[in-house]
Structure formats: structure tokens, C-alpha cells
């Protein structure tokens, strides 16, 4: 069996993955995006930049992460399940891989200040962390409703020295924070770098963030080669919010016969239920009504309630190279408990979406007995304990 010939390794020079991606920004932001694009290409080709990033990822942030065989759960399910442990990264998830890359790039570009959007606060915390590490001022835009719901992460960001700016427009959540951060960037491009939290936004962000996250897939590919007799797994699965941990994971396996599965939250499933549209500077699948009004997604996992999805995933879906499925909140909570008791790992509610799909796919036969499954555990569950306590 061979994989279908899809080349998602690079978008076109203007950032299109097929019909998706591109750059839909005000005229005043075009030079800023061009400058990020040029700087990223130069940095990514520069061994000195790569080795400095590598040094920080290993000496500070916790790379490489292990590929853990889930022995007991595998035995229960009759498959071989391998977990790529991004939950062990500094600040608790894969987000730091991307943020450290972008913060180093900002510094190389001579910028002194980072801005970011955040929903639940995880990307804000990661950006505040990178800002503190590199001595850069950090401002995080966050919807007022999210500020009220995520007091702990707001306090984390402030402890790290970041300024948290409340956003009072729209539904006062993530999409509004993103809009506001882009608006602010227009007025501050001279000294300010916008650090996007996922494979979203205008070109070059979706491609650049994927490249910063591909360390997950590249590491996992090598680890799977050593762990599996066949060399590559039959199935590779990751949860999809904006799509960065999945894109980084898939990047390591696109040229293998592995089936690639992205798991969305039932209430935030832009790929499964969305339509073509433009949001925050790029074209992709978007949750919107027939008038183009953006929907407010709902998921028990705060990191999965973005109303759009990275353009590369829309492209991979159209070409059948990756398949996107949904699971519901009930399955997700059950998956957290099942993994915790079988393996001693309390994963994030986001990551539990991937686990939940595997549990279901084994019973429906979509994952056959004896199959090998590599699953990216994007984050740890500490942040979700209050949510789980309310349910028990
Ligand atoms: C933010 C987050 C996600 C969703 O983001 P992606 O860009 O889709 O990876 C998933 N898992 C965790 C733990 C997160 O914090």
C-alpha cells in the first residue's frame, strides 16, 4: 500500500494549500507579513538559528519527548498503542515548540515585544514564558469572558511579567481576542511581533507554525522506526483545534502509508461541519451561518473551541490524505479516566479527543485487531481538573 500523492510539504509562495490559506489582511499588514516570511525562510535555512532553537528545546523545554508504549491499554484493546508525550513539555503542552521558535525569530528580526491572542490562556502562558526567557515585553489579548473563566492562567501570565489586555468586543472570547490582536499589530509593527498560537492566520503563519511543530512528527517517526517491526504505524492520530499538534505530527508521516486521523470536538468541528470562508487573514473551513456570521463553538476542551481550522488540514481533507472525525464531550471524559487508570497519565481534555476516537474505532473495527496506532498526547490534564471535578 502506498500513500496518495499529496504534497503538503510546502504551500505555494503566496501561502496557498490548494484553495485554502493565503493572506487576507489590511494593506497596512502586508509588509509586516512579508517581513516575517522573509525572516522565517532565512532563519529556517540558517544552521545557527536551528541549533539555537534546538538548544532551548532540549536544555529548557524538555525535548525530545518519549514515545511511550501504552502497555496495559494496548492489551485491553488488542492493538499496539504508542503515545507521543507532548504533555511532558514545559508549560504542559506542545504549544511551547511553536512559541519558542517564533520568539527567537522575533528577536532575530530586532523586535522587542511579543503580542498574542489566547482563549483558555494556554498559548498566552506559553508566549509569556518565552517573553520572560528571552527578555521581551509580552502583551496577551484575551476575551473578557475567558478572563473570568480562566483566572488561574491569567494569574500565570501576570506572574511571568506579561500584560493581559481584556477584549470587550463580540462574544468576548478567542475569535474576538484574535481580531483585536491583529488590529493592534497594525498600529505597532515597528517594534512588535505577532505570535500566532496555531497553524492559523495569514501566510506565512500556517506554514511556519507547522514547521516549528514538525519536531513532534520527525521525532515520532524515528522513535516509531525503532519501536515497531514494520517501521511505521498503521494509524497516526491527533486532536485538532486550530490544528498545530496534528499538523506537526502528520508532517512526519505524510510520505508513509500511515492513515492520518484528526479528531475534532463535536461542537467545534470546522472540518466536519464548516464551510469555505475567510477568518483572521486566511481561507479555510469555518463554522458560520449562511450570512457568514461566525459561530461560537462549544467544547469541554478549551483549546478546541476555535471556529476555524488550519488551511493545510482543509487541503489534506479534500485530497483524502487525512480523515477528520468528531467525538463528543461524554466520550472525551470517559477517555481521560480510561487512560489515567490504565497508564497513570492524566491527559488534557483536548488530547483525550484522540484517545476517545481510538477507543471507539477499536469497537467499530475502523482500527483492526493487532494494528499499530501512534497518538499524540498534546498536553497534560492539570488545567482541566476543576472541569472534571464539577462532573463527578
Ligand atoms: C491548544 C491546545 C490544543 C489545540 O491546538 P492545536 O493547534 O490544534 O494543536 C490541543 N491540545 C492542547 C493540550 C492544547 O493546549
Using only C-alpha atoms, the chain has a radius of gyration, in whole angstroms, of: 19
Residues labelled catalytic: 95, 117, 378
Atom from ligand 1 closest to the CA of residue 304: 4
The sheet carrying 192-194 orders its strands as 163-167, 137-143, 113-118, 192-194
Which three three-digit cell numbers place residue 160? 511571568
**DSSP-assigned letter for residue 27:** G
Alpha carbons within 13 A on the beta-carbon side of 354: 29
Enter the CATH code of domain 16-55+94-205: 3.40.50.1100
Average the pLDDT over 17-39 and give the result: 96
Pseudo-torsion of CA 135, 85, 320, 358, nearest 10°? -140
pTM: 0.97
- Residue 155's pLDDT is 97
Per-residue pLDDT at 7: 58
The pLDDT value recorded for residue 225 is 98
Region of poorest pLDDT, from 94-108, 117-131, 208-222, 282-296: 282-296
The dihedral region occupied by 149, where left means phi > 0, alpha psi between -120 and 50, and beta the remainder, is alpha
pLDDT at 2 over 80: no
Say how far apart CA 29 and CA 308 lie, in whole Å.
Answer: 21
* Ligand 1 atom closest to Cα of residue 122: 15
Distance from the alpha carbon of residue 27 to the mean position of ligand 1, in angstroms: 30
Strands (E), the chain: 16-17, 20-21, 67-69, 80-85, 113-118, 137-143, 163-167, 192-194, 235-239, 259-265, 275-279, 282-286, 322-327, 372-377
Q: Cell for 217?
A: 512528527
Calpha distance 130→114 (Å, rounded): 9
What is the per-residue pLDDT for 298?
86
| Strand order from edge to edge, sheet including 67-69 | 67-69, 80-85, 372-377, 235-239, 259-265, 322-327
Q: What is the largest CA-CA distance in the chain?
A: 57
Assess whether pLDDT exceeds 90 at residue 10. Answer: no
122 lines ligand 1 (CB under 6 A): yes
Among the residue ranges 68-77, 155-164, 293-302, 333-342, the one predicted with the least confidence is 293-302
Test site for ligand 1: of 379, 382, 383, most ligand atoms within 8 A of the Cβ: 379
Query: How high does pLDDT run on average in the chain?
Result: 95
Q: Give the DSSP letter string of 74-93.
A: HHHHTSEEEEEEGGGSGGGB
**Residue 351 C-alpha to ligand 1 middle, in angstroms?**
8
The answer on pLDDT for 1 being more than 50 is no
Determine the distance separating the centroid of ligand 1 and the alpha carbon of 350, expressed in angstroms. Answer: 6
Q: Whose CA is nearest to atom 5 of ligand 1?
A: 241
170 and 179 Cβ atoms separated by less than 8 Å = yes
Residue limits of CATH 3.40.50.1100 in the chain? 16-55+94-205, 63-93+214-391
pLDDT at 3 over 60: no
CB of 77 within 8 A of CB of 335? no
Residue 6's pLDDT is: 52
Closest ligand 1 atom to Cα of 380: 13
Torsion angle, alpha carbons of 93, 21, 297, 139, to 10: 50
**For the CA of 209, the nearest atom of ligand 1:** 7
Residue-wise pLDDT for 183-241, tens only, equals 999 999 999 999 999 999 999 999 999 999 999 999 999 999 999 999 999 999 999 99
Substitution site in 96, 214, 304, 310 for ligand 1 pocket (most atoms within 8 Å of beta carbon): 304
Q: Phi/psi at 285 (nearest 5 deg)?
A: -85, 130
Q: Any idea which fold 63-93+214-391 has?
A: Rossmann fold (3.40.50)
**Is pLDDT of 140 > 70?**
yes
Report the atom number in ligand 1 closest to the C-alpha of 351: 11
- Give one word for 320, left, alpha or beta, with left for phi > 0 and alpha for psi -120 to 50: left
Q: Which residues, 6 or more positions from 275, have their beta carbon under 8 angstroms from its beta carbon? A: 285, 286, 288
29 or 10, higher pLDDT: 29
- 376 touches ligand 1 (CB under 6 Å): no
* Nearest protein Cα to ligand 1, atom 1: 303
Is a pLDDT exceeding 90 seen at residue 248? yes
Q: Decide if pLDDT at 317 tops 60.
A: yes
Residue having the nearest C-alpha atom to atom 4 of ligand 1:
241
Question: What's the CA gap between 35 and 15, in Å, rounded?
Answer: 14
Q: What's the CA-to-centroid distance between 238 and ligand 1, angstroms?
A: 10
pLDDT reading at 4 higher than 60: no
For 44-99, write each residue's pLDDT tens digit. 999 999 999 999 999 999 999 999 999 999 999 999 999 999 999 999 999 999 99
Amino acid at each position: 500500500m502506498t500513500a496518495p500523492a499529496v504534497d503538503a510539504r510546502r504551500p505555494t509562495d503566496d501561502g496557498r494549500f490548494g484553495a485554502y490559506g493565503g493572506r487576507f489582511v489590511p494593506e497596512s499588514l502586508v509588509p509586516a507579513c512579508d517581513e516575517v516570511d522573509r525572516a522565517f525562510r532565512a532563519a529556517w535555512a540558517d544552521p545557527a538559528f536551528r541549533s539555537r532553537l534546538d538548544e532551548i528545546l532540549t536544555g529548557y523545554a524538555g525535548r525530545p519527548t518519549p514515545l511511550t508504549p501504552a502497555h496495559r491499554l494496548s492489551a485491553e484493546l488488542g492493538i499496539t498503542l504508542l503515545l507521543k508525550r507532548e504533555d511532558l513539555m514545559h508549560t504542559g503542552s506542545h504549544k511551547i515548540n511553536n512559541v519558542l521558535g517564533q520568539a527567537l525569530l522575533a528577536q532575530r528580526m530586532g523586535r522587542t515585544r511579543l503580542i498574542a491572542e489566547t482563549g483558555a490562556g494556554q498559548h498566552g502562558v506559553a508566549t509569556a514564558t518565552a517573553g520572560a526567557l528571552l527578555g521581551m515585553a509580552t502583551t496577551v489579548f484575551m476575551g473578557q469572558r475567558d478572563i473570568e473563566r480562566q483566572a488561574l492562567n491569567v494569574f500565570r501570565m501576570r506572574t511571568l511579567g506579561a500584560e493581559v489586555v481584556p477584549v470587550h468586543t463580540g462574544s468576548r472570547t478567542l475569535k474576538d481576542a484574535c481580531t483585536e490582536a491583529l488590529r493592534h499589530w497594525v498600529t505597532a509593527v515597528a517594534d512588535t511581533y505577532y505570535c500566532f498560537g496555531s497553524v492559523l492566520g495569514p501566510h506565512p503563519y500556517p506554514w511556519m507554525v507547522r514547521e516549528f511543530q514538525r519536531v513532534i512528527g520527525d521525532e515520532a517517526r524515528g522513535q516509531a522506526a525503532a519501536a515497531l517491526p514494520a517501521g511505521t504505524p498503521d494509524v497516526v492520530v491527533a486532536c485538532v483545534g486550530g490544528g498545530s499538534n496534528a499538523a506537526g505530527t502528520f508532517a512526519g508521516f505524510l510520505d508513509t502509508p500511515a492513515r492520518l486521523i484528526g479528531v475534532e470536538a463535536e461542537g467545534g468541528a470546522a472540518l466536519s461541519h464548516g464551510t469555505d470562508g475567510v477568518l483572521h487573514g486566511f481561507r479555510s473551513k469555518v463554522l458560520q451561518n449562511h450570512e457568514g456570521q461566525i459561530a461560537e463553538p462549544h467544547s469541554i476542551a478549551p483549546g478546541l473551541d476555535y471556529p476555524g481550522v488550519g488551511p493545510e488540514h482543509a487541503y489534506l481533507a479534500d485530497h483524502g490524505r487525512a480523515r477528520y472525525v468528531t467525538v463528543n464531550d461524554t466520550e472525551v471524559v470517559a477517555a481521560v479516566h480510561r487512560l489515567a487508570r490504565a497508564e497513570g497519565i492524566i491527559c488534557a481534555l483536548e488530547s483525550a479527543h484522540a484517545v476517545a476516537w481510538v477507543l471507539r474505532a477499536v469497537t467499530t473495527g475502523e482500527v483492526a485487531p493487532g494494528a499499530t496506532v501512534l497518538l499524540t498526547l498534546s498536553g497534560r490534564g492539570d488545567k482541566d481538573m476543576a472541569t472534571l471535578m464539577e462532573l463527578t
